[in-house]
Structure 1
Amino acid sequence: MRRTALALALPPAAAVLVLAGCTASDTTPPPAPAGVTAQAGSATSVHVMWQDPAAADGVRNYQVFQAGRLVRELPADKTMVDVTGLTPQTAYAFTVRARDGAGNTSAPSAAARATTPAARAEDHRAPTAPARTTGRPDGPRSATLSWTAATDDTAVTAYDIYQGGIRIHTAGPGETAATLTGLQPDTAYTFTVRARDGADNSSPDGPAVDLTTPPSDGQGPGTAPTGFSAAASPGAVTLTWTAPDTGRATTAYELHVNGRPVTVIQFGAGAVPPPGGTVEHRLTVAEPAGTVWVLRLRARLPDGNWGAFSADRRIVLAG
């Protein structure tokens, strides 16, 4: 188990997953990822996206292949990736495979193809920002965003959509609208759009658009980690909680101590808790015995927001 030193100002930490894995009899692979698309983002990069998995599929991570070669591996909550280090003016084909907790790997997805544009090494001018952005909720968990096309001295190659400072979607150069999924009911959002060119120069944010998703009759599972507990031992604190069941795996949690955020517990590939999975994380602490901490935790949701806080837990550090 990896440890994190905590002195009320923590660096990002790795987390350790403790859960009951699939049984040895689980030999059924998940379905191949659907809706795979590829869009050249620059002369040397392609943005690959695919649809969210169903919770019942039990997907733990994804593998992205180019011409049969593994180029990226991602946790289950990541359904987009920029594949970099490519060659300008070259055609590429990408496939994606899903893998579950028992190690069963899906068949390859349908191939998505993209051709990188010519390199423009001296291009340092960013595109203009989209001049207008509008949005509307389509229901409790989705919304449609529209924007006006940007301009560039060479060409716009992509539009990146941000929410809460997190990029949650990328659209192609000819697109001026996108449907965003994985949102939360009865939640206020602020979205912005940036244009990007073939040299990876990004525009400033376009005008922000605010919208609120409507409530849902069954609001769905809560977003707070449940069963949160903390146990002190000499020089350490062990945290345990159950991941919120948001339909997708959660890779980041923000830990608050005595009312202020002190670190983000970040999962790497292969250690991502599935929705409802039990997680354990150990902190190495330097504060003296007898120090009182009040701890609480919240998860980063698939829509880029932080979820609701867990219950507070009060502990006294051990000597």
Structure 2
Amino acid sequence: MRRIVPLLALCLAATGLAACTAADTTPPAAPAGITAQAGSATSVHVMWQAPDPADGVTNYQVFQAGRLVRELPADKTMVDVTGLTPQTAYAFTVRARDAAGNTSAPGASAEATTAAAKAEDRQAPTAPARTTGRAEGPRAATLSWTAATDDTGVTAYDVYQAGIRIHTAGPAETATTLTGLQPDTAYTFTVRARDGADNSSPDGPAVEVTTPPSPGRGPNTAPADFTATASPGAVTLTWTAPDTGRPTNEYELHVNGRPVTVIQFGAGAVPASGAARVSHRLTVTEPAGTQWTLKLRARLPDGNWGAFSAERSIVLTA
């Protein structure tokens, strides 16, 4: 495994001892698992696997036929390449770069052919009518959905998590495996269909998948059966406390992916083992129609934060 470690060496010069720094000249490993999937008549979705943190990757370069088309930070492992020509085959490669400017060899080439263009297509596909999911160990999940329909034909299925697209599958696929998940975590996924004009369907039914803990991690620490209900000027949250062996009196609430407040209860106010429901009411001042995605996690007896609850999406009311 490659590691990026600053090396400080003592150099013996004619005038005595001088300090020098060994330059990093080792490139990162080439990106693995590169795939390309046509999303419409003019776009292709390119994805690849996240790097080993020890590789020190800082950004990626996406090439089409040897031409640089996109640059992305290290935390992005997918991109839509747009402005393409309908019914045309394209090949893509990806290179990784580190902080020292070393560039990897290209990963294996991935090919995709864009769909045929459809004039004045403004009709979106139907939403997938049914979605199911199951965990495949602590870090993966398999999703399945029913096929959607469209007047000009479905060209792709997009998987969303917390309102963010995380995966694109082909038009003939009705299942996919998602990797890179966190152990002991509740996820909520939805699937949308897309056609050759980039019209997207509404979300299909949401499906919840909870990954099991890694070996030796102990019981599930996520608040269970989390719900969020909007009412005029307020949002009511309810959940079942995780079984940590002690009362869990402190929770961190995230809205739209960011921590916004810590909810604290008096000593003993929250049950220790999920024996009863917990409720909290938030006063809100945001305008009606504002969309929120919420999740929360508990402060564990050892002082660390536990796993997140399932996510809930709501629209604030007047």
Normalised by the length of structure 2, the TM-score is: 0.62
Shift of 1:308: 8.6
Shift of 1:123: 0.5
Aligned to 1:160: 158
Shift of 1:72: 0.6
Aligned to 2:10: none
Q: Any idea what SS the aligned residue of 1:42 has?
A: coil
1:285-309 Cα shifts (integer Å, max 9, x gaps): xxxxxxxxxxxxxxxxxxx989899
- Residue 24 to residue 196, structure 1, CA distance change in 2 (3 Å): farther
- Residue 44 to residue 76, structure 1, CA distance change in 2 (3 Å): same
Q: CA–CA distance in 2 between the matches of 1:55 and 1:308? A: 27
Which of 111, 121, 132 in structure 1 is aligned with 2:119?
A: 121
Shift of 1:36: 1.0
Which of 193, 213, 216 in structure 1 is aligned with 2:214?
A: 216
Aligned to 2:102: 104
1:217-241 Cα shifts (integer Å, max 9, x gaps): 2559xxxxxxxxxxxxxxxxxxxxx
Q: CA–CA distance in 2 between the matches of 1:68 and 1:306? A: 45
Is the 1:157–1:172 contact (alpha carbons within 8 Å) kept by the matching residues of 2? yes
- Residue 44 to residue 186, structure 1, CA distance change in 2 (3 Å): same
How do 1:80-91 and structure 2 match up within 5 A? 80-91=78-89
- Residue 53 to residue 122, structure 1, CA distance change in 2 (3 Å): same
Confirm whether residue 148 of structure 1 aligns to residue 146 of structure 2: yes
Is the 1:158–1:197 contact (alpha carbons within 8 Å) kept by the matching residues of 2? yes
What code does the residue aligned with 1:46 have? Answer: V
Is the 1:143–1:179 contact (alpha carbons within 8 Å) kept by the matching residues of 2? yes
Q: CA–CA distance in 1 between the matches of 2:207 and 2:54? A: 34
Q: CA–CA distance in 1 between the matches of 2:119 and 2:133? A: 36
- Residue 162 to residue 69, structure 1, CA distance change in 2 (3 Å): same
Shift of 1:208: 1.0
Is the 1:36–1:49 contact (alpha carbons within 8 Å) kept by the matching residues of 2? yes
Aligned to 1:184: 182
Normalised by the length of structure 1, the TM-score is: 0.62
Shift of 1:138: 0.7
**Structure 2 unmatched runs, 5+:** 8-20, 219-255, 264-293, 305-318
Aligned to 1:9: none
What code does the residue aligned with 1:43 have? Answer: A
What code does the residue aligned with 1:205 have? Answer: D
- Residue 21 to residue 74, structure 1, CA distance change in 2 (3 Å): farther
- Residue 119 to residue 307, structure 1, CA distance change in 2 (3 Å): farther
What code does the residue aligned with 2:29 have? Answer: P
Is the 1:33–1:50 contact (alpha carbons within 8 Å) kept by the matching residues of 2? yes
Identity rate, percent: 79
1:18-68 Cα shifts (integer Å, max 9, x gaps): xx9897521111111111111111111011111121222221111001111
- Name the count of aligned residue pairs: 217
Q: Greater CA radius of gyration, 1 or 2?
A: 2
**Structure 1 unmatched runs, 5+:** 1-19, 221-251, 261-303, 312-319
How do 1:133-282 and structure 2 match up within 5 A? 133-219=131-217, 254=258, 256=260
Please give the root-mean-square deviation of Cα atoms over the aligned residues, in Å: 2.8
